[in-house]
């Protein structure tokens, strides 16, 4: 198990899980319970670094002739491939190339012709390139005993050749057939082990060794006793194909690693789950069946037509899923790659097959290490939904290979309603109780899974032993009228149950006594999930000897009270001020025992570090891991101990981009015309003085959000003291090009009561944008004629709408990986759960595709050619571009080969930066040169109307339609 925490730095979207960089994530943050468990289901050590958007500005050079510029472009294109190869070494250094943009003050048409003739990938100016190419910081992982730290080392951005590897698009997933894993996995290049002493100092690094040079490491995991590490290894072979994965194990004391399996023919199957520690010396591994043979061959001639039927007149409404199975051959291919043979392997070398081959999706040992919960999917498969809705079987086995019972066999779920909070019928969320040796719990819907059905109770939570004596041992643990949202376990006297309802944003936390039916459940918190000011925080968890996590009870000397630790973000009108409260669970009274320094720093509690010993935890023995950062100081980690609250610094990471170390950051507040309070983060270049330097070109980068109340929409989120994390596509890069950056201006789309927010989408979008632009102009930091707007995914949708409906605000726009025609997503999008036929006018009015004739300002469209995000098909940008071109709009479409929703390859990212910088230089920095060509009246350009945004810090989002993930250029850090 592990906890995740962010350490800011710049890097690309990567995950050390077996998921691809674009794999579907779940559960919107708005649906999270107030007590978020901070646990990950398995003990993988994970690093995720997310992409942001960077910018830099060079003064445009004097006019060059068309011929000479064209020759320069061709020269750059010819040299590019050698530049990229040398620039992808592990040290992150690149071949020297000034990366400057050949440009001129010539006409727009002439410059467009020049750029189209050059071809090839481009490098941005060095101000941008150098930041993106800086070596990444390592990921960190603590041992279960909190006495050691792993430094997991990584390379810089991957080359395009990594993304160009063939992949199979099957059942909503993308599979690397050569490796038999999810495609496009990131990897570690090495593992360093440091001893963590009581005073917070680190011992010398001990390198894990024994594996060949050049190995790519994944799925790093601690054994329960912390004496061993497991990880997978793969290599790049001579033909540029990567080998299949093998499991290795390292002794933590010596650092010596060796293969888990003596046989060289046993490979890891990491399409779904991969392996899990069953006990201190045994690992259950999903392996490729030895008898599998060659993959099925696609028939030259199909056996018949592709037929789908609904002769039963079922109502099946589905979002716009991608990469689905298409025919019987795809079904066979999916089953071929996804089928695993489970193998029990001991550190002494013994190996035993476990159960039959199947498409296993999860492996979960019971806390007492006696049972295994195995989930698998099976036929009949579907051509209209991804694998998560395929028939699902859940079985209980003993860890020595004896089948106990089948918990459920759920049918194919093609008919889950699109309304939010709709779920699958039957048993779901099946898990082990963290506080019991081998007790299962799960939830079952009482409304048929349809959120539109009114029923009480709506969900029932059940519990039962793994191997019950008889079926009567099934017990009702709790009944809920909203949708079940999870449980935090403690013991027989205490557990917290969460429920929530998206439409009303209501969330409840219940206190129950699982072992005492005489104690009635009671509500601990009942609040709006949008009201961040009222968030009481989440309970801190302690690790049990079995490796599970439970609520940490804290005692005071000579005090019989039952206390828990609530770790909160501390949202206030002045920004987030994280806190740690000692909370009496019986009286609901609290005592603040720690709070962030709100004057200069942003600090937060990351993990409990005094939980390695059994027995009661007293407040005077408390030790926590904290993080600390400021506007100009990157995140470092500290140990803080009670009772004297002594602080010891653990890490001393260098600044990831010292050239921007003195950037200026301010959280600003302003008001929309309808009275809604808005916020944004304003970044200014190092050394900038508005009184001396005058107004700057400005880039507004944002992402709209939906709310049920004006008060909640106006609340401040984020902290003015947080470090400015800059990812490889972050808008903040353009601080190096002397731009002002308005990051994440809130663009709340509000639907109070029974009103649907999107019915007034355009009106509220424009109103928010006007307020933002007016504010940066009023402050004198932004030139009224030089304000550009941009966004990714739903932010790209926003950008196109603003250029269509508020052309007086912005000089140009950058729209990346967006969806522009909502009739192509007819069964809902983002947070809209009405269909096209239920809200036709809303779908049409919200679609910038329908207003393509109104867009007169320059718009740059960028899209990954292999976008697999629901709703944002690459076709969206292609058709939008054709619509714009058909009306004579000044537009440009850049489609990135092999890239999906977020961009990963160094070549792609560098080219995105080049395209964006070129666009901003032409139409923002030198906007006066093209005013005549744009046929925009001076009176419109000079209107002091602002731009909008969507949330706290940087809003360069990688979003899975309906789920926004806000990249903060962060390094995730695990506590096992």
The pLDDT mean for the chain works out to 84
What does DSSP say about strands 859-864 and 646-649: parallel, antiparallel, or unpaired? unpaired
Cα separation, 784 vs 788, in Å, equals 10
Q: What is the pLDDT of residues 947-967, one digit of tens each?
A: 333 333 333 333 333 333 233
Residue 364's pLDDT is: 97
Residue 616's pLDDT is: 83
Query: DSSP class of residue 202?
Result: B
**C-alpha 129, offset from chain centre:** 24
**Domain 660-927, CATH number (from 3.40.50.1820, 1.10.3730.10, 2.40.50.140, 2.60.120.10):** 3.40.50.1820
The alpha helices in 751-826, defined as continuous H runs, are 761-778, 794-805
Is the confidence at residue 600, as pLDDT, over 80?
yes
Angle at 893 between CA 172 and CA 11, to 5 degrees: 60
* Sign of the alpha-carbon dihedral angle for 848, 849, 855, 858: positive
DSSP string covering 136-183, please? PPPEEEE-TTSSEEEEEE--SSPPHHHHTS--EEETTEEEETTTTEES
Least confident among 26-40, 180-194, 554-568, 759-773: 26-40
Residue 241's pLDDT is: 62
Cα separation, 725 vs 727, in Å, equals 7
Closest to 702 (Cα-Cα) out of 684, 724, 679, 722: 679
Closest to 482 (Cα-Cα) out of 540, 421, 541: 421
Average the pLDDT over 122-149 and give the result. 94
The residues facing 497 across adjacent strands are 487, 510
* Sign of the alpha-carbon dihedral angle for 55, 61, 67, 69: negative
Residue 105's pLDDT is: 32
Is the confidence at residue 187, as pLDDT, over 90?
yes
Q: Where are the beta strands (DSSP E) in 451-552?
A: 459-465, 475-480, 483-491, 494-501, 506-512, 522-528, 538-539, 541-543, 549-551
Cis check for the bond before 540: say yes or no (omega within 30 of 0): no
Cα separation, 145 vs 227, in Å, equals 10
pLDDT tier for residue 674 given thresholds of 50, 70 and 90:
very high
Cα separation, 65 vs 971, in Å, equals 46
Cα separation, 858 vs 934, in Å, equals 8
Tally of CA atoms within 13 A in the half-sphere of 321 that contains its CB? 23
Q: 317: which residues sit within 8 A by CB, 6+ positions away?
A: 417, 418, 827, 828, 835
Is the confidence at residue 32, as pLDDT, over 90?
no
DSSP string covering 62-92, please? PP--HHHHHHHHHHHHHHHHHHHHHTTSTT-
Average the pLDDT over 306-331 and give the result. 91
Q: Where are the domains of the chain?
A: 660-927
Is the confidence at residue 304, as pLDDT, over 60?
yes
Is the confidence at residue 42, as pLDDT, over 70?
no
Q: Which two tokens stand for residue 743?
A: 């990051």
pLDDT tier for residue 26 given thresholds of 50, 70 and 90:
very low
Give the number of other CB atoms < 10 A from CB of residue 107: 13
**C-alpha 614, offset from chain centre:** 35
pLDDT tier for residue 238 given thresholds of 50, 70 and 90:
low
Is the confidence at residue 834, as pLDDT, over 70?
yes
Region of 687 on the Ramachandran plot (φ > 0 left; ψ -120 to 50 alpha; else beta): left
Q: What is the pLDDT of residues 778-814, one digit of tens each?
A: 999 999 999 999 999 999 999 999 999 999 999 999 9
Q: What is the pLDDT of residues 322-380, one digit of tens each?
A: 999 999 999 999 999 999 999 999 999 999 999 999 999 999 999 999 999 999 999 99
Cα separation, 27 vs 814, in Å, equals 28
Cα separation, 439 vs 396, in Å, equals 11
What does DSSP say about strands 148-153 and 549-551: parallel, antiparallel, or unpaired? unpaired
Residue 614's pLDDT is: 77
Give the number of other CB atoms < 10 A from CB of residue 246: 20
Closest to 471 (Cα-Cα) out of 462, 480, 479, 460: 462
Say if CB 341 and CB 413 are below 8 A apart.
Answer: no
Query: DSSP class of residue 212?
Result: P
Cα separation, 440 vs 802, in Å, equals 51
Residue 925's pLDDT is: 95
Q: What is the pLDDT of residues 606-630, one digit of tens each?
A: 999 988 777 789 999 999 999 999 9
Positions marked catalytic: 793, 867, 901
Residue reference for tokens 């399409």: 271
The residues facing 483 across adjacent strands are 500
Is the confidence at residue 36, as pLDDT, over 50?
no
Say if CB 233 and CB 211 are below 8 A apart.
Answer: yes
Cα separation, 294 vs 628, in Å, equals 53
Is the confidence at residue 464, as pLDDT, over 90?
yes
DSSP string covering 311-337, please? TT----------S---SHHHHHHHHHH
Is the confidence at residue 37, as pLDDT, over 50?
no
Cα separation, 570 vs 966, in Å, equals 19
Q: What is the pLDDT of residues 516-528, one digit of tens each?
A: 989 999 999 999 9
- Please give the residue that has the higher pLDDT: either 160 or 611: 160
Q: What is the pLDDT of residues 700-748, one digit of tens each?
A: 999 999 999 999 999 999 999 999 999 999 999 999 999 999 999 999 9
């Amino acid at each position: 198990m592990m906890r995740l925490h962010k350490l800011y730095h710049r890097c690309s979207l990567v995950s050390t899980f077996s998921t691809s960089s674009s794999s579907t994530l779940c559960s919107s943050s708005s649906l999270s319970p107030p007590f978020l468990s901070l646990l990950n289901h398995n003990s993988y050590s994970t690093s995720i670094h997310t992409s942001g958007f960077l910018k830099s500005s060079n003064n445009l050079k004097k006019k060059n002739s068309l011929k000479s510029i064209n020759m320069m472009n061709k020269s750059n294109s010819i040299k590019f491939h050698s530049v990229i190869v040398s620039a992808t070494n592990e040290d992150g250094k690149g071949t020297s190339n000034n990366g400057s943009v050949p440009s001129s003050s010539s006409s727009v048409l002439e410059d467009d012709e020049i750029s189209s003739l050059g071809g090839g990938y481009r490098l941005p100016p060095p101000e941008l390139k150098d930041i993106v190419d800086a070596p990444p910081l390592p990921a960190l992982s603590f041992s279960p005993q909190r006495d050691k730290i792993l430094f997991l080392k990584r390379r810089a951005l991957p080359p395009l050749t990594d993304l160009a590897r063939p992949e199979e698009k099957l059942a909503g997933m993308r599979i690397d057939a050569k490796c038999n894993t999810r495609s496009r996995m990131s990897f570690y290049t090495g593992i360093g082990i440091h001893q963590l002493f009581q005073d917070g100092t680190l011992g010398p690094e001990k390198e894990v060794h024994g594996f060949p040079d050049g190995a790519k490491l994944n799925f790093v995991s601690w054994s329960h006793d912390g004496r061993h590490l497991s990880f997978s290894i793969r290599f790049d072979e001579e033909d540029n194909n990567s080998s299949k994965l093998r499991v290795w194990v390292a002794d933590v004391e010596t650092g010596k690693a060796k293969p888990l399996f003596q046989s060289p023919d046993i490979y890891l199957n990491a399409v779904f789950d991969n392996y899990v520690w069953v006990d201190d010396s045994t690992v259950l591994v999903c392996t490729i069946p030895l008898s599998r043979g060659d993959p099925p061959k696609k028939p030259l001639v199909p056996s018949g037509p592709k037929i789908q039927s609904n002769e039963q007149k079922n109502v099946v409404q589905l979002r716009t899923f991608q990469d689905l199975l298409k025919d019987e051959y795809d079904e066979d291919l999916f089953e071929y790659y996804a089928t695993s043979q489970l193998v029990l392997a001991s550190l002494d070398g013994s190996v035993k097959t476990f159960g039959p081959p199947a498409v296993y999706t999860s492996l979960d040992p019971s806390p007492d290490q006696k049972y295994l919960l195995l989930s698998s999917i099976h036929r009949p498969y579907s051509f209209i939904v991804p694998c998560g809705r395929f028939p699902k079987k859940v079985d209980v086995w003993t860890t020595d290979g004896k089948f106990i019972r089948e918990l459920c066999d759920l049918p194919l779920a093609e008919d889950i309603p699109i309304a939010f909070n709709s779920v699958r019928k039957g048993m779901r969320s099946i898990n082990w109780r963290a506080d019991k040796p081998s007790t299962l719990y799960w939830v079952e819907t009482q409304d048929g899974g349809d959120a539109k059905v009114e029923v009480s109770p709506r969900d029932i939570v059940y519990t039962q032993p793994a191997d019950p004596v008889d079926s009567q041992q099934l017990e009702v643990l709790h009944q809920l009228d909203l949708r079940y949202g999870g449980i935090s376990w403690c013991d027989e006297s205490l557990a917290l149950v969460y429920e929530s309802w998206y439409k009303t944003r209501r969330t409840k936390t219940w206190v129950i006594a699982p072992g005492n039916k005489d104690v009635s459940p009671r509500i601990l918190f009942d609040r709006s999930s949008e009201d961040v000011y009222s968030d009481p925080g989440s309970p801190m968890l302690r690790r049990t000897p079995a490796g599970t996590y439970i609520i940490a009870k804290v005692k005071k000397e000579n005090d019989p009270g039952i206390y828990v630790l609530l770790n909160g973000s501390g949202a206030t009108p002045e920004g987030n001020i994280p806190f740690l409260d000692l909370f009496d669970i019986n009286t609901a009274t609290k005592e603040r025992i720690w709070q962030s320094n709100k004057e200069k720093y942003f600090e937060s509690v990351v993990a409990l570090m005094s939980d390695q010993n059994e027995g009661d935890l007293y407040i005077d023995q408390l030790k926590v891991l904290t993080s600390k950062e400021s506007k100009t100081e990157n995140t470092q980690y500290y140990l803080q101990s009670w009772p004297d609250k002594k602080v010891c610094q653990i890490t001393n990471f260098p600044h990831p981009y010292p050239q921007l170390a003195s950037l200026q950051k301010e959280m600003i507040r302003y008001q929309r015309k309808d009275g809604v309070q808005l916020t944004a983060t304003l970044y200014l270049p190092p050394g900038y003085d508005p009184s001396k330097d005058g107004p700057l070109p400005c880039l507004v980068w944002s992402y709209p959000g939906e709310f049920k109340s004006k008060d909640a929409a106006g609340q401040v989120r984020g902290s003015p003291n947080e470090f400015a994390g800059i990812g490889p596509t972050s808008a903040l890069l353009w601080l190096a090009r002397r731009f002002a950056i308005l990051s994440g201006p809130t663009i709340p789309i509000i639907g109070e009561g029974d009103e649907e927010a999107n019915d007034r989408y355009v009106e509220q979008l424009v109103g928010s944008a006007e307020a933002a632009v007016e504010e940066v102009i009023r402050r004198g930091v932004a030139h009224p004629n030089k304000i550009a707007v941009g966004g990714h995914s739903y932010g790209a949708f926003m950008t196109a709408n603003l250029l269509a409906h508020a052309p007086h605000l912005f000089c140009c726009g950058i729209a990346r990986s967006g969806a522009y025609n909502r009739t192509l997503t007819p069964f809902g999008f983002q947070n809209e759960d009405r269909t096209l036929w239920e809200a036709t006018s809303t779908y049409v009015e919200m679609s910038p595709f329908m207003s393509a004739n109104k867009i007169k300002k320059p718009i740059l469209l960028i899209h990954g050619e292999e976008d697999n995000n629901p709703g944002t098909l690459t076709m969206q940008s292609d058709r939008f571009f054709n619509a714009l071109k058909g009306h004579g709009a000044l537009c440009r479409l850049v489609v990135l080969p092999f890239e999906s929703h977020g961009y990963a390859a160094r070549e792609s990212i560098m080219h995105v930066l080049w395209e964006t910088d070129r666009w901003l230089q032409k139409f923002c920095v030198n906007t006066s040169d093209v005013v005549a060509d744009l046929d925009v009246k001076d009176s419109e350009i000079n209107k002091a109307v602002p731009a909008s945004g969507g949330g706290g810090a940087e809003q360069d989002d990688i979003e899975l339609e309906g789920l926004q993930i806000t990249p903060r250029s962060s390094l995730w850090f695990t506590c096992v």
